[in-house]
Structures are given as C-alpha cells and as structure tokens.
Amino acid sequence: MNMKNNLILALDVGSESESISICDSIKDYIDTIKIGYPLALAEGLEIIGKLKDKFGFKVICDFKVADIDATNSKICEETFKAGADAIICHGFVGSDSVQACLDVANKYEKELFLLTEMSHPGAKMFLQKNADAIAEMGVDMGITNYVAPATRLDRLADIRRIVGEDAYIISPGVGKQGGDGKKTLEISNAIIVGRSIYESDNPKGACEKLIESLK
C-alpha cells in the first residue's frame, strides 16, 4: 500500500463535517487516511465510503481487532463490505484470531496490518514484552504489513529486523507523542500523524510543514 509522501492522516475526529473539512484541506498532500473508533462510532461505517467517494482516499480502519476468531471474522466482514482498503488487528490474541482477520482480508483482496507494539508509554507494561513474538508469528503466517511505534526507534528497528526489509511497516507516534518523522522513515515505510494536523488551526499548513520536515 504505497502512500503519497509516506504520510497517513489519523482522522480521529467526531463528525462527518469536521472530517470533510480537514480532508478537503489536506487532499493534495495525503492520499491515505486512518479511521478509528471515534469517527466510525460517531458516523457509522458509511463514513468510509463517503470519504473514499469524495476524495479518492485509501482508508485503513484502525479497529485494533482483538476478539475470538468468529467475532473477528464478523468485524472484518462488515469493515471490508463498507469499503475499507485495510484493517488493523492486534496480535496478542493469538494466531487463530489473527488468521480469521487475514482470511477475510484475502477474501476481499484487501490488506491486513498486524499491530506489534503501540506507541504510548503504557505499551511498555505488557505489550512490549510480547511484541517480538507477535512479529515472529506474523512472519510465520505470511503477513506482510505491520504497525510498530515511531516513539521508540530502537523497538521499531527490532521489529524491522524480525519482519524483514520487504515487509511494509506503518508507524504511529509522530507529532504530539514526540516521534521524529524523518528518523522513523529511515526504518518504517510510512508514518501516521493525527493531532498535529487535525487539531491545528491550519491543517493544510501543518501538513505542509510536516512534509517539509521529512526532506
């Protein structure tokens, strides 16, 4: 999943009108957005198709799917039927639950991103201890897309070594969480940025400034 400027907008706003306003301002710089629970719960899965139709974006649904296999299948089915290009799932639930997501992604000829380690400080308490094993599981399962943190470049590098140079890694944590976008892209394929853009009084200007900092 190649992305313009190697940049994904995390569109964690709470209304269709706000999402459209922000997307309209940055559409010349970004072609991939990440929609999570805030927008999906506020506006329904229909927002995926609306934004795709209006702007032509690729949409990654960051639902961090983490349930039993049967429930995971249902979540992924509804998400892909709504038009999503990719979905993010947790790996800590084990291979059977992840395989359920992968099977549905393959059925719809869409993408699955396996979350190895999150970007916030709390991830170090429990998730980090198993992140390498989650990445190894993903490799064994033939998964080629991963999520790993921009906030801890040493851990990002560890994940890269495990999944290999041909894997596609996207990294949250640049901006408000303190991750360095340019350094992250030396390891990762794309960065995910949310609040630094959508909370700005001038999202377009914030986007331009961020892209300039990556050069």
Three-state DSSP at 192 gives strand
Termini Cα distance of the chain: 21
- Domain total in the chain: 1
187-200: average pLDDT: 96
What does pLDDT average to over the chain?
96
Burial track 101-124 (b if 16+ CB lie within 10 A, e otherwise): bbebbeebebbbbbbbbbbeeebe
The answer on pLDDT for 2 being more than 90 is no
Domain limits at 55?
A: 4-213
Task: Give me 97's structure tokens.
Answer: 């639950």
Per-residue pLDDT for 58 more than 90? yes
Does residue 181 contact residue 214 with C-beta atoms inside 8 Å?
yes
Band (pLDDT 50/70/90 cuts) for residue 197 is: very high
Is 64 part of the annotated catalytic residue set?
Answer: yes
Comparing 175 with 95, the larger pLDDT belongs to 95
User: What CATH number is attached to the domain comprising 42?
Assistant: 3.20.20.70
Q: So what's the pLDDT on residue 28? A: 95
* Catalytic hit among 64, 124, 204, 209: 64
Residue-by-residue DSSP string for 25-60: HHTTT--EEEE-HHHHHHH-THHHHHHHHHH--EEE
| Span 43-54, average pLDDT | 97
| 157 pLDDT above the threshold of 90 | yes
pLDDT of residue 1: 81
Which string of DSSP letters, residue by residue, matches 126-190? TTHHHHHHHHHHHHHTT--EEE--SS-HHHHHHHHHHH-TTSEEEEE-BSTT-B-HHHHTTT-SE
pLDDT per position as a tens digit, 59-85: 999 999 999 999 999 999 999 999 999
Burial of 28 (0-12, 13-18, 19+ CB in 10 A): exposed
| Cβ contact 114:146 at 8 Å | yes
